[in-house]
Amino acid sequence: MIDVINLKKDFNHVQVLKDINVTVNKGDIMVVLGPSGSGKSTFLRCLNCMEDPTGGSIIFNGVDIADMKVDINIHRRHMGMVFQHFNLFNNKTVIQNIMMAPVHVKCQELSQTKRRNFVTKVKNVFSSQKKELLPITTTKAQIRDEAKVQALDLLKRIGLEDKADVYPSTLSGGQKQRVAIVRSLAMNPDVILFDEPTSALDPEMVGEVLDLMKALAKEGMTMIIVTHEMGFAKEVANRILFMDEGRILEDSTPKEFFENPKTPRAKEFLSKVL
């Protein structure tokens, strides 16, 4: 699904990612481990086009999204991202947060279709060969109604349908993060990237977020997760990437990684965190 080839990222002439090569398969639950500053967040941000790579390619669904000429917004729609600090819009209600992206994208598509049809109609007036108009089967009101039904379903799934009309500031950290996760689901992504989704939570709220992530993993969602939750990594991941100083030092199964790490850096890391 994602082929990362010789990915490099510099900040001010400092190489933060050095030749990252990895292939993510559909259904992979890939946990990215590594010391602070090893480049984990930068790696995820490059995958999601939030940073422009200095070199290399990221082939996502057959298209190189590291190429500046491609429309990254189209690819981002298929890639969800969940952040440490939730990144909900505090001036929107919970349900508005979930509906916003799908409504925006679908209304944009509708406007484009209407614009194209308008141009076709004008051309048809002057041409003997009449072109057919694109079918329009929806309205903005319908788009919003459908998004609302979907958002309520997603809230029901996490037991928060009664919170639809409240603002995020009234939610607990665990609730905010679960809303952020279902918000990313509303776009029906092919893959979701998680950057330390439980690091900002009080300990008693970590479990509810990890449980939701486990449920997604069971459903076959492809996920790339930066986390320090070693229990989760062992139990849920099918692959562990270990990063250090901008390189992938290990790409192995959890069993291999935790029982028999190959590199001294991984051994040292594990001796500190386990």
Positions in the binding site for Mg ion (CB under 5 A): 41
Q: How far is the CB of 223 from Mg ion (least distance, A)?
A: 17
Question: Least distance to ligand ADP from the beta carbon of 260, Å?
Answer: 24
Nearer to Mg ion, 4 or 99 (CB): 4
229 CB contacts (<8 Å, ≥6 apart)? 198, 206, 210
11 binds, among ligand ADP, Mg ion, none (CB under 5 to 8 A by kind): ligand ADP
**Cβ at position 240, least distance to Mg ion in Å:** 17
The first and second tokens of residue 63, run together, are 């298209």
Q: How far is the CB of 41 from Mg ion (least distance, A)?
A: 3
Residues that bind ligand ADP (CB under 6 A): 11, 16, 34, 36-42
Question: Of these partners, Mg ion, ligand ADP, none, which one is at the site of residue 198 (CB under 5 to 8 Å by kind)?
Answer: none
Q: Which does 37 bind (CB under 5 to 8 A by kind): Mg ion, ligand ADP, none?
A: ligand ADP
> Residue 269 CB: number of other CB atoms within 10 A?
21
Residue 38 binds which entry of ligand ADP, Mg ion, none, CB below 5-8 Å type-dependent: ligand ADP
For ligand ADP, the closer of residues 40 and 75 by Cβ is 40
Pick the closer one to Mg ion by CB: 157 or 228.
228
> Furthest-apart CA pair in the chain: how many Å?
77
Closest distance of CB 48 from Mg ion, Å: 13
Q: Closest distance between ligand ADP and the C-beta of residue 64, in Å?
A: 22
Minimum CB separation of residue 125 from Mg ion in Å reads 57
Q: Which is nearer to ligand ADP, 28 or 244 (CB)?
A: 244
Q: Which is nearer to Mg ion, 41 or 96 (CB)?
A: 41
d(CA 76, CA 57): 16
- Which residue in the shown chain puts its C-beta closest to Mg ion? 41
Please choose which of ligand ADP, Mg ion, none residue 227 contacts, taking the beta carbon within 5 to 8 angstroms, the exact cut-off set by kind: none
42: partner contacted, choices Mg ion, ligand ADP, none (Cβ within 5-8 A by kind): ligand ADP
16 binds, among ligand ADP, Mg ion, none (CB under 5 to 8 A by kind): ligand ADP
Cα Rg of the chain, angstroms: 21
